[in-house]
Amino acid sequence: MISRYARKEAAAIWDAAMKYKIWFEIEAHAATKMAELGVIPTEAAETLWAKGKDAQFDADRIDEIERTVKHDVIAFLTHVSEIVGPEARFLHQGMTSSDVLDTCFAVQLQKSADLLIEDVDFVLAALKKRAMEHKLTPTVGRSHGIHAEPVTFGLKLAGYYAEFTRARKRLVVAREEISTCAISGAVGTFANVSPEVEAYVAEKMGLEIEPVSTQVIPRDRHAAFFAALGVVASSVERLATEIRHLQRTEVLEVEEFFSAGQKGSSAMPHKRNPVLTENLTGLARLVRSAVVPAMENVALWHERDISHSSVERGIAPDATIHLDFALRRLANVVDNLLIYPENMQKNIDRLGGLVHSQRVMLAMTQKGMSREDSYAAVQRNAMKVWRGEGNFLDFLAADEDVSKFFTRSQLEPFFNLDYHTKHVDTIFARVFG
Amino acid sequence: MISRYARKEAAAIWDAAMKYKIWFEIEAHAATKMAELGVIPTEAAETLWAKGKDAQFDADRIDEIERTVKHDVIAFLTHVSEIVGPEARFLHQGMTSSDVLDTCFAVQLQKSADLLIEDVDFVLAALKKRAMEHKLTPTVGRSHGIHAEPVTFGLKLAGYYAEFTRARKRLVVAREEISTCAISGAVGTFANVSPEVEAYVAEKMGLEIEPVSTQVIPRDRHAAFFAALGVVASSVERLATEIRHLQRTEVLEVEEFFSAGQKGSSAMPHKRNPVLTENLTGLARLVRSAVVPAMENVALWHERDISHSSVERGIAPDATIHLDFALRRLANVVDNLLIYPENMQKNIDRLGGLVHSQRVMLAMTQKGMSREDSYAAVQRNAMKVWRGEGNFLDFLAADEDVSKFFTRSQLEPFFNLDYHTKHVDTIFARVFG
Amino acid sequence: MISRYARKEAAAIWDAAMKYKIWFEIEAHAATKMAELGVIPTEAAETLWAKGKDAQFDADRIDEIERTVKHDVIAFLTHVSEIVGPEARFLHQGMTSSDVLDTCFAVQLQKSADLLIEDVDFVLAALKKRAMEHKLTPTVGRSHGIHAEPVTFGLKLAGYYAEFTRARKRLVVAREEISTCAISGAVGTFANVSPEVEAYVAEKMGLEIEPVSTQVIPRDRHAAFFAALGVVASSVERLATEIRHLQRTEVLEVEEFFSAGQKGSSAMPHKRNPVLTENLTGLARLVRSAVVPAMENVALWHERDISHSSVERGIAPDATIHLDFALRRLANVVDNLLIYPENMQKNIDRLGGLVHSQRVMLAMTQKGMSREDSYAAVQRNAMKVWRGEGNFLDFLAADEDVSKFFTRSQLEPFFNLDYHTKHVDTIFARVFG
Amino acid sequence: MISRYARKEAAAIWDAAMKYKIWFEIEAHAATKMAELGVIPTEAAETLWAKGKDAQFDADRIDEIERTVKHDVIAFLTHVSEIVGPEARFLHQGMTSSDVLDTCFAVQLQKSADLLIEDVDFVLAALKKRAMEHKLTPTVGRSHGIHAEPVTFGLKLAGYYAEFTRARKRLVVAREEISTCAISGAVGTFANVSPEVEAYVAEKMGLEIEPVSTQVIPRDRHAAFFAALGVVASSVERLATEIRHLQRTEVLEVEEFFSAGQKGSSAMPHKRNPVLTENLTGLARLVRSAVVPAMENVALWHERDISHSSVERGIAPDATIHLDFALRRLANVVDNLLIYPENMQKNIDRLGGLVHSQRVMLAMTQKGMSREDSYAAVQRNAMKVWRGEGNFLDFLAADEDVSKFFTRSQLEPFFNLDYHTKHVDTIFARVFG
């Protein structure tokens, strides 16, 4: 985890403090149910909660114990007994370490998913705000990096809004995928612990029961979770790439916010670089790098092996923390984006009207010209404009084949931007309701 | 696409014939709606359907035309006009090539998803059948490849059943992700084609409308689709790996079906190798290799670039066809799996009762011994068994610390397998209802 | 393998015809050596060569036989016996199928590597030609997509030349990695075949002996091979991305060659799109997708399992054929690239001299101004230019802090492009020698 | 970076302290050369070295300054001036931040490569030691997890030795790939800094000059570096997987060292799990996850963008530190591996002689029986053994077709292990020289 790309809310989920708090809750809820089932004394369970609920577990002390007992859960339980006293021996009865570890992992991923969903909401809010502002701001649509036909800047943002709505849905599904609890013992048979304990802990921790666990929760769930993060990261990359393109010196239709006194480059005082969105591009690659190892983790041997563990110690905090950071940064970039409608207009005009070529062509076919001839007529005039020889409307008006059908004043309306924005309301209604 | 790993039903979806059939339907449905909107003559639309509906489009002829016009959709339309006559000129009015290509791609992926869902149903059926047969067949559960505690073979299969139930759900979601239709023109503004055309074609083709398309359908949808396939492939790998392990010479609890006269190895006549599940392991890697490029495809430039196209020409047929093949092969392997309960029992017995070590330890703690002492007592006797010096029960009965609490006949019940299978019904009910 | 992205020279390497030719050579060379060692009759080996050397093996016939015997190498040997007669029974003595398969695979990969190295030579030649032409053509260097300082177009290309020199070296190493021969029997012990046979066949086939094979050639070699291809593909992507950027409407410093009569878009007659380099971007993703499965193939179980085989049936032809195609396409794109020096100059001038900001700042620090003050003075004038308020030189000349040190005519030389090109010769000498 | 999988030697390379030390050296060497070139005063350079050489740069102080100046290199230079005094202003003249950052990165990667090469040497030493010990220890070779024919345990290890020899070579090449120095200014033209400075610093830092840098060192070098690490990690995975297989309860031919008092499982006192090699399997996945993002980093825009930076902040320490840890752990595992020759022999015998099936078959073909008939005769007897009905030799001796050629005593020598080990010396000579 790279600390400069970590918000403290996201990083805290993976802190030792949070982990031990969750471990305690799992063990203590299990104890409550075991007491109810008569497996352990009721007063023991009550004492555990009374003394442990608000306890601060000491990670250093637990590490110290672990160096002796060489087992993380045993070290934790030993430390709990230092805090709550001898009743601690009633904890963990018939349970296996993975019951605690995997259920805790589910809680951590769920909390991370909650943050990510909230983050996407910030991105959505920023996109909506700016989309509404620029609903009808004309800008050129580009295919292949080449001017195509006019759109509006609001439409662009509406498209991203729709994409992040899907991202949100994927995160909700991903959250469900990993929100399960397993307390089923060494090979998942509940030999030494009742399924009722699992059901109780699941409910208390906000999880579903895992239908079949085998000491561990099956890792296809986690693969699906990290795959979803990879898709969301790819959407971050797309919007980041759009902004980077639009900020290029030659395009300059938008800029990342640049504060007074900020330095774009230590060497070149004139620079204003889209460094935030470049950073988001890199973070997207990092988040995506969790996907393949998470999939490779699925095929554990038999009831379980522990090869997934080191992988998850890396990718789980890294991917969730960095995606959280990326989404927040993205929301800020969009919210504060400097948008230059005049430059957009200048760019539309740059091709001397060529962006209307399709409309002229279609108009001629409607007059009866074949599509091939019409295409040829429009293209030969377009290429002159492309070579910088003049204006498209002028060339068309002067073209013999074109002027057969249209006078200059009849051609003029084909260069009207409104033609292209007539369905903006329809699209906005689809996206924003 | 590797033809030996392709079923013809799956491959047919990506055939030229299927593609042109879908193209025609998209164009002809659009024409019907355009006629209704008064954009083209009603009779034209009717003629198109009458003459084109059952037409066989000639892929070679279309290729021939494409070599001249250098455009696939134009070549197709030209060929359609050869079949349906001059009314073909009313096709594709105001549409852009991607309207046809991307909507067709959605239909192809949807059809592929339908097959994959059906395939998973075969896997599920086979798993359920064998799980029911072996619901109570004892077998050893293994963690880290080392004997842990007893489970049943039916429980193992129930776990895979639950996993493939999730796989099915993921495929259903993936199918939804890519089932959208875009007929919105060069940059998605509907400048030259009404949104009503899109809505009509979508409904006829069994798709939803794409809320915002930008000449293309956004590629986050496809990334999510291929990511889902990657997760499903990883589940295939897990079950395949399980079978490979269980077929090892030293384990031999199951075998892939081996027909009379089959040769396991040309050099070694004694061999019976799990080659089908090894093959499935490889196919899982292949299917998974589509995930990263699909994610890299998301960040197209501006309204679209065409970098995704070559990627999809590769991964779309490859990943869907190979996963379809893999799932069918897996269903067959499970359905015909040779299962050896006696060998399972032999393996359980191999550790001389050690798989009951936890139960003995817990029993001693319940008698008041500390967990540490109990662990030590059990471990020191277990290690003797491990070294092949004798039987666990004998050593325990002879151990001073153990015999303080339990006589040999009191120890015996701890070696009972039923203890471990008492919740099989509960788990089966969770999985199979 | 996608046939539209395949040159026939590259695809032929993976044809059945080529495979059977190589198989025959391996078997026949082995026979020659076995005859020399007295294992089989000398005349048998001679007959084999005499009748088989120029034989056309019939892939359909072999497939037919394989449907009966269910073994590819046995089917081949059976067909060979149909051609060369009973002496065929002396082939393959003491050998195992993998001896033939893996050694053949090495030859195929080696041939592919030869093509790829030749392809890179074409790329290098094109880059060098254009670099020489534009050695001193000024163009703006861009960091973060924002104008930085001037470079020359030749320098850009020299950088790519250096990169493809490294690509070539990587391919040479990769070729070496996979150029080994294994004829060592069922588990690599040479129990039934002499190491001398392996040495002889290796030499004849242009390979090294594999020091330790275990029925198979170890797959770390192949992982290294495909990883090298992935790196080379990434370099293809970088150059393709550069060209795509430079062809953007607003930049237009270069264009892919566009033939008379070509159609950029069926809908928009004015378009000229960088579709070749976009395609290369996609192909790079495809080639790269071979890297991870090739690495996952390394950890075969014990002496071998066959999970790698299906993976290699996919990635080996796909990655080599598509990279071959991509490199050739790239060479053509570079060779025929339309280069617009006037547009480059226009773009340099677009920022009103801002690209010289560093030089002005350094000059002021050399006059004794602190770096901070100098930066601030230059930046405040730069931002005016950035906002489109005028020319950089004018603002600087009018600035109080600047004019303390420099008159307008003293400032003018700082705007000289030659300052930036003075080391072009040095760099060219490093690259081109 | 996961601290529990980090050796301090490897982690130290990525510490702030190491980074600032390297930065200082780069800047100070550049100053020395600039003084020699007359760009800055000689005494300044001397003072810099005198005061800075052994200085401890204070990372917290630099962070504090960075919070004000928002630039890491400027913050560092400011802190240097606090230590060495006003002469610090002569540092960094005409240089750009990347000159320092990228050259430092090269040094860090080079140091990491040095460690990794040393680590592989430990692995090689351990493998060689154990290979020599068990050069002739018979063990069964397995293909597809099924017994094939005998090998020796030393041969197995020799194969891994050969593989890690290749790993070492790959690391040496990877080290070369990234050992370059760039001090070429904002866009790589040396406009404000002489190429002689770069050459001098390169030599002093143990690097080569980068022929063409463009503010940054081109990232194909780094992609090749991390790809090499991914291949090496895959070899780690292969050996780890071998050990995990051999430690399975049913196989038990080797075990990871298990200290007295160690606990294999908190719940099951009898367990001894191959947790170290399982951990190595996971670490291999983690290291490999760096490969794809490193390749995605290659296609930076134009002269550079900064998207690679966040990626490298993650993957560079993570991949190098974890691979270093993995290699050391692997060396220890091999060095201390518990090896059980008796179990190996028991396993060989488990198939009742079946592992000699090829030899019997070949012997019969040499007597004139057709390969098909011979195969059938051997297979039908083998299948009886497979079904547990008895001993292979007995069945063969009793078989009508076999006894035509061989008496029981003539069959017996075919069951001799020496036949399979006769070329062990040859292979050892190839590997160990």
Say whether D29 is catalytic: no
Contact indicator for D268, D275 with CB cutoff of 8 Å: no
* pLDDT at position D373: 86
* pLDDT at position B367: 87
Interface A–D counts its CB contacts (< 8 A) at 126
Catalytic residue among A71, A265, A307, A423: A265
**Whether residue A267 has pLDDT greater than 80:** no
In chain C, the residue whose alpha carbon lies closest to the alpha carbon of A356 is: C268
Residue among D142, D272, D354 minimizing CB distance to B270 = D354
Neighbours of B400 (CB within 10 A): 7
Which band of pLDDT confidence, cut at 50, 70 and 90, is reported for residue A317? very high
Are D249 and B144 within 8 A, CB to CB? no
Residue among A149, A284, A299 minimizing CB distance to B234 = A299
Q: What is the mean pLDDT of chain C?
A: 94
Catalytic residue among A3, A144, A259, A270: A144
Which band of pLDDT confidence, cut at 50, 70 and 90, is reported for residue C143? very high
Residue among D278, D285, D314 minimizing CB distance to A296 = D285
* pLDDT at position A148: 94
Q: What is the ipTM of this complex?
A: 0.96
Cβ-proximal residues to B131 (8 Å cutoff; 6+ apart), any chain: B154, B155, B157, B158, B161, B428, B432
- Measure the CA angle with vertex D217, ends D213 and D222; round to 5°: 150
Which band of pLDDT confidence, cut at 50, 70 and 90, is reported for residue D69? confident
In chain A, the residue whose alpha carbon lies closest to the alpha carbon of B232 is: A220
Name residue, tokens 């007994």: A81
| DSSP per residue, B66-122 | HHHH--HHHHHHHHHHHHH-GGGGGTTTT--HHHHHHHHHHHHHHHHHHHHHHHHHH
- Chain B neighbors of D142, CB-CB under 8 A: 248-249
Q: What is the mean pLDDT of chain B?
A: 94
Three-class SS of A281-328: HHHHHHHHCCHHHHHHCCCCCCCECCHHHHHHHHHHHHHHHHHHHHHH
Q: State which amino acid sits at residue D302.
A: H
- Measure the CA angle with vertex B59, ends B55 and B63; round to 5°: 135
Are A298 and B231 within 8 A, CB to CB? yes
Separation in Å, CA of C403 to nearest CA in chain B: 44
In chain C, the residue whose alpha carbon lies closest to the alpha carbon of A143 is: C273
- Chain A neighbors of D308, CB-CB under 8 A: 282
Separation in Å, CA of D4 to nearest CA in chain C: 25
Smallest CA-to-CA distance from B4 within B256, B322, B287 is with: B322
- Touching subunits for chain D (3+ Cβ pairs under 8 A): A, B, C
Q: Looking at per-residue confidence, does D264 or A336 come out higher?
A: A336
**Under the phi-then-psi rule, with left for phi > 0, alpha for psi from -120 to 50, and beta for the rest, what region is D142?**
beta
* pLDDT at position B125: 98
In chain B, the residue whose alpha carbon lies closest to the alpha carbon of A170 is: B224
Separation in Å, CA of B227 to nearest CA in chain A: 6
**Whether residue A104 has pLDDT greater than 80:** yes
The predicted-structure confidence for C185-207, as pLDDT tens digits, reads as follows 999 999 999 999 999 999 999 99
Smallest CA-to-CA distance from D276 within D335, D195, D353 is with: D335
* pLDDT at position C37: 97
Per-residue pLDDT averaged across B78-107, rounded?
93
The predicted-structure confidence for D128-171, as pLDDT tens digits, reads as follows 999 999 999 999 999 999 999 999 999 999 999 999 999 999 99
The predicted-structure confidence for D248-281, as pLDDT tens digits, reads as follows 999 999 999 987 767 777 778 788 899 999 999 9
Smallest CA-to-CA distance from A92 within B365, D270, B417 is with: B365
Instruction: State how far the Cα of A295 lies from the Cα of A315, in Å rounded to an integer.
Output: 12
What is the dihedral sign for C-alpha A203, A208, A211, A212?
negative
Residue among A158, A295, A304 minimizing CB distance to B143 = A304
Q: Looking at per-residue confidence, does D323 or C380 come out higher?
A: D323
**Whether residue B400 has pLDDT greater than 80:** yes
Cβ-proximal residues to D136 (8 Å cutoff; 6+ apart), any chain: D152, D154, D421, D424
Smallest CA-to-CA distance from B367 within B422, B407, B409, B415 is with: B407
Q: Please state, in angstroms and as integers, the Cα–Cα distance from residue D270 to each residue in B375, C254, D239, following that order.
A: 9, 71, 25
Which band of pLDDT confidence, cut at 50, 70 and 90, is reported for residue B190? very high
Cβ-proximal residues to B191 (8 Å cutoff; 6+ apart), any chain: A149, A359, A419, A420, A422, A423, B94, B185
**Whether residue D20 has pLDDT greater than 80:** yes
Catalytic residue among D3, D144, D266, D409: D144
Separation in Å, CA of B199 to nearest CA in chain A: 12
Q: What percent of chain B has pLDDT over 70?
A: 100
In chain D, the residue whose alpha carbon lies closest to the alpha carbon of B381 is: D270
Which band of pLDDT confidence, cut at 50, 70 and 90, is reported for residue A262? confident
**Whether residue D16 has pLDDT greater than 90:** yes
C-alpha distance across the termini of chain B, in Å? 39
Cβ-proximal residues to D271 (8 Å cutoff; 6+ apart), any chain: B143, B144, B146, B148, B357, D264, D265
Name residue, tokens 């059938």: D376
Instruction: State how far the Cα of B117 lies from the Cα of D132, in Å rounded to an integer.
Output: 54
Per-residue pLDDT averaged across A322-343, rounded?
98
Which band of pLDDT confidence, cut at 50, 70 and 90, is reported for residue B352? confident
Residues C377, C382, C384, C389, Cα dihedral to 10°: 130
Residue among B143, B191, B281 minimizing CB distance to A419 = B191
Strand partners, A146: A143
Residue among A73, A286, A306 minimizing CB distance to D293 = A286
Are A271 and C143 within 8 A, CB to CB? yes
Strand partners, D151: D139
Query: How is residue B269 written in tokens?
Result: 């006549």
Instruction: State how far the Cα of C165 lies from the Cα of C149, in Å rounded to an integer.
Output: 26
**Whether residue B354 has pLDDT greater than 90:** no
Contact indicator for C303, D148 with CB cutoff of 8 Å: yes
The predicted-structure confidence for A162-208, as pLDDT tens digits, reads as follows 999 999 999 999 999 999 999 999 999 999 999 999 999 999 999 99
The predicted-structure confidence for A236-248, as pLDDT tens digits, reads as follows 999 999 999 999 9
- Chain B neighbors of A360, CB-CB under 8 A: none
The predicted-structure confidence for D354-402, as pLDDT tens digits, reads as follows 889 888 988 888 888 887 888 888 988 988 888 888 889 999 999 999 9
Phi, psi of D212, deg, nearest 5: -135, 110
Instruction: State how far the Cα of A402 lies from the Cα of A406, in Å rounded to an integer.
Output: 6
* pLDDT at position A421: 95
Q: Which of A2-16, A384-398, C228-242, C252-266 has the lowest mean pLDDT?
A: C252-266
**Whether residue A261 has pLDDT greater than 80:** no
- Chain B neighbors of A149, CB-CB under 8 A: 185-187, 189, 191
Q: Please state, in angstroms and as integers, the Cα–Cα distance from residue D412 to each residue in D357, D359, D408, following that order.
A: 12, 11, 6
Are D143 and B244 within 8 A, CB to CB? no
Catalytic residue among B134, B143, B213, B265: B265
Query: How is residue D373 written in tokens?
Result: 């008939």
- Touching subunits for chain B (3+ Cβ pairs under 8 A): A, C, D
- Touching subunits for chain C (3+ Cβ pairs under 8 A): A, B, D
The predicted-structure confidence for B100-151, as pLDDT tens digits, reads as follows 999 999 999 999 999 999 999 999 999 999 999 999 999 999 999 999 999 9
- Chain D neighbors of B361, CB-CB under 8 A: 269
* pLDDT at position C385: 87
Contact indicator for B111, B15 with CB cutoff of 8 Å: no
Q: What is the mean pLDDT of chain D?
A: 94
* pLDDT at position B79: 95
The predicted-structure confidence for D202-213, as pLDDT tens digits, reads as follows 999 999 999 999
* pLDDT at position B119: 98
Smallest CA-to-CA distance from D381 within D360, D366, D363 is with: D360
CATH architecture, domain defined by C351-432: Orthogonal Bundle (1.10)
The predicted-structure confidence for A274-284, as pLDDT tens digits, reads as follows 999 999 999 99
Residue among C158, C235, C303 minimizing CB distance to D148 = C303
The residue extents of the domains of chain B are: 1-93, 96-343, 351-432
Are C298 and D158 within 8 A, CB to CB? no
Are C358 and D192 within 8 A, CB to CB? yes
Q: Looking at per-residue confidence, does D371 or D72 come out higher?
A: D72
The predicted-structure confidence for D80-127, as pLDDT tens digits, reads as follows 999 999 888 899 988 999 999 999 999 999 999 999 999 999 999 999
**Whether residue C365 has pLDDT greater than 90:** no
Q: What homologous superfamily does CATH list for C96-343?
A: Fumarase/aspartase (Central domain) (1.20.200.10)
Substitution target from B123, B280, B303 for chain A, most A beta carbons within 10 A = B303
Are A303 and B142 within 8 A, CB to CB? yes
Smallest CA-to-CA distance from B354 within B136, B146, B138, B144 is with: B146
In chain A, the residue whose alpha carbon lies closest to the alpha carbon of B308 is: A144
* pLDDT at position A268: 80
Q: Please state, in angstroms and as integers, the Cα–Cα distance from residue C170 to each residue in A193, C176, C298, C322, following that order.
A: 58, 10, 20, 17
* pLDDT at position B127: 98
The model's pTM is 0.97
Are D159 and C188 within 8 A, CB to CB? yes
Contact indicator for A201, A180 with CB cutoff of 8 Å: no
In chain A, the residue whose alpha carbon lies closest to the alpha carbon of B307 is: A144
Contact indicator for B233, B284 with CB cutoff of 8 Å: yes
Q: Which of A359-368, D49-58, D60-69, D293-302 has the lowest mean pLDDT?
A: A359-368
Say whether C423 is catalytic: no
DSSP one-letter code for C214: B
| DSSP per residue, A211-234 | SS-BSB--THHHHHHHHHHHHHHH
Separation in Å, CA of C333 to nearest CA in chain A: 16
Are B248 and D249 within 8 A, CB to CB? no
What is the dihedral sign for C-alpha B89, B95, B101, B107?
negative
Residue among D97, D283, D305 minimizing CB distance to A266 = D97
Instruction: State how far the Cα of D321 lies from the Cα of D315, in Å rounded to an integer.
Output: 10
Which band of pLDDT confidence, cut at 50, 70 and 90, is reported for residue D26? very high
**Whether residue A265 has pLDDT greater than 80:** no
Per-residue pLDDT averaged across C319-348, rounded?
97
CATH topology of domain A1-93: Fumarase C; Chain B, domain 1 (1.10.275)
Which segment, B402-411, C18-27, D391-400, is predicted with the most confidence on average?
C18-27
Instruction: State how far the Cα of D202 lies from the Cα of D204, in Å rounded to an integer.
Output: 6
* pLDDT at position D207: 98
Catalytic residue among B3, B143, B144, B270: B144
